[in-house]
């Protein structure tokens, strides 16, 4: 009976992982496609964000193209099968991913100086850009040093920050499309939550095995009363 439940649990866990992986892949493809086509879309005269972007010069295409490339390659970098069976592809896509982070991060850092919402959102995007490039750099340094375990952990954090592009748009969609809240407060909230929430979830994912083991480990019995005489 216990074996049957354990097998059912393993199958359920595997199905959940595949479902989440497929959802992540689809979201990466959708948002990266949006990033690649943004410069070629029609922007009406009422689109004040697009007007700001036009004034930013090369920062916009650098950020959108670099971040879009990193997001497109993120599922490939997470694939254990690619890493094990096609290591050359993993290293090639990793190099392109790193280039995308660098270009997108520098463009994003420049764009943060005149972000919608002022300093409240600009500081959030600046911190995101610096952390994104820094965390990715640490991951690459561990790969060069041959410490692949630490390399994977830091690249998971990097991909969590890359996926902030997804979380940002989901937050804006819920805040405006579902809750019909004013744009600027939602945008400021999204600017902070899109990467802090992702980082928190990545840390939970990385530390989950030890957390789970601690929860499932048998606790010692209470020793209350030991050494106390009974009359």
Q: In sequence order, what are the residues at sequence separation of 6 or more whose Cβ sits closer than 8 angstroms to the Cβ of residue 168? A: 190, 191, 194
Count the domains in the chain: 1
Mean pLDDT value across residues 43-56 = 63
Q: Look at residue 25 and tell me if it is in a domain.
A: no
Under 8 Å between Cβ of 28 and 71: yes
Q: Look at residue 12 and tell me if it is in a domain.
A: no
Residue 231: pLDDT over 90: no
Residue labelled with tokens 């959802």: 23
Q: Look at residue 94 and tell me if it is in a domain.
A: yes
Confidence class for position 230, pLDDT limits 50, 70, 90:
very low
Q: Look at residue 205 and tell me if it is in a domain.
A: yes
Q: Look at residue 8 and tell me if it is in a domain.
A: no
Q: pLDDT tens across 88-147, in order?
A: 999 999 999 999 999 999 999 999 988 889 999 999 999 999 999 999 999 999 999 999
Q: Look at residue 220 and tell me if it is in a domain.
A: no
pTM of the model: 0.84
Which domain, by its residues, includes 160? 56-213
Q: pLDDT tens across 134-180, in order?
A: 999 999 999 999 999 999 999 999 999 999 999 999 999 999 999 99
List C-alpha distances in Å: 72 to 26, 29, 40, 144, 215: 10, 6, 19, 23, 36
Q: Look at residue 97 and tell me if it is in a domain.
A: yes
Q: Look at residue 15 and tell me if it is in a domain.
A: no
């Amino acid at each position: 009976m216990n074996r049957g439940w354990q097998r059912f649990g393993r199958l359920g866990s595997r199905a959940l992982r595949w479902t989440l992986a497929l959802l992540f892949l689809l979201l990466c493809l959708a948002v990266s496609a949006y990033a690649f086509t943004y410069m070629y879309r029609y922007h009406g005269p009422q689109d004040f964000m697009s007007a700001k972007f036009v004034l930013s010069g090369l920062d916009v295409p650098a950020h959108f193209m670099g971040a879009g490339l990193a997001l497109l390659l993120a599922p490939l970098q997470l694939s254990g099968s690619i890493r094990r069976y096609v290591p050359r592809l993993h290293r090639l896509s990793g190099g392109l991913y790193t280039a995308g982070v660098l270009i997108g991060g520098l463009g994003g850092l420049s764009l943060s100086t005149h972000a919608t919402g002022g300093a409240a959102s600009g500081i959030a995007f600046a911190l995101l850009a610096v952390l994104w490039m820094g965390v990715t750099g640490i991951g690459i340094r561990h790969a060069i040093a041959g410490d692949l375990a630490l390399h994977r952990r830091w690249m998971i954090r990097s991909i969590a920050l890359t996926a902030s592009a997804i979380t940002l748009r989901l937050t804006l969609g819920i805040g405006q499309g579902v809750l019909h809240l004013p744009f600027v407060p939602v945008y400021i909230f999204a600017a902070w939550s899109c990467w802090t929430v992702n980082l928190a979830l990545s840390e939970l994912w990385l530390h989950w095995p030890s957390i789970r083991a601690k929860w499932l480990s048998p606790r010692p019995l209470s020793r209350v009363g030991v050494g106390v005489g009974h009359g």
